[in-house]
Amino acid sequence: MTPHDPDQAHDEVDHLVAAWRQERPDLDVEPLQVLSRVSRLARHLDRARRASFAEHGLESWEFDVLTALRRAGKPYELSPGALLRATLVTSGTMTNRIDRLAAAGLVRRRPDPEDRRGVLVSLTEAGLKRVDDAFADLLRREHELLAGLGQREQQALAGLLRTLLIPFDATDTGAH
């Protein structure tokens, strides 16, 4: 039995679907074939993410802020407003997060030279190292999660999931 042979391999979702088909033959339970698996994979991904972040002394929210700054490119800085848009939190929450990251030495604030009232938040060297190490570890774990699929299968799955997500992203003005 190989994991690529759908006629041979069975998972928990197969058992769940079979039970529902027996108990509720009047319902079309086909969506469970995909969406229950997506849900289960999301839980595995969440566990891998939390483990990766914990190994690097980070919480999920810290990783989100640090990666937003890292993706901005050199000098790895954004305004608090840009961080709000990137992380989808309230202004008060972001202020608290920046305060905590600054106290930990992972970010620093500096006056915005183009706006006397504004500030810019940037990664410190320690923040850059921490986020780079955590991101590399996360990608290693994500590769492990996808190890059962070849590159073409991963690309096909990514395309199918994109097709499903596009309508949701189009209606979510805060999507990134």
Q: Model's pTM, two decimal places?
A: 0.79
Per-residue pLDDT for 1 more than 60?
no
Distance from the Cα of residue 42 to its chain's centroid: 10
85-121 b/e (C-beta count within 10 Å ≥ 16 → b): ebbebeeeebeebbeebeeeebbbeeeeeeeeeeebb
pLDDT for res 7: 61
- Does residue 104 carry a pLDDT above 80? yes
Which residue ranges make up each domain of the chain? 12-24+31-158
Calculate the alpha carbon distances from 103 to 9, 12, 107, 175 in Å. Answer: 50, 45, 8, 29
pLDDT digits (tens, 9 = 90+) for 5-25: 556 678 999 999 999 999 999
Average pLDDT score over the chain: 90
160-176 average pLDDT score: 77
Please, which pLDDT band fits residue 62 given cuts at 50, 70 and 90?
Answer: very high
Please state, in angstroms and as integers, the Cα–Cα distance from residue 6 to each residue in 10, 33, 55, following that order: 7, 12, 36
Torsion of CA 89, 137, 52, 64, to 10 degrees: -10
CATH no., domain 12-24+31-158? 1.10.10.10
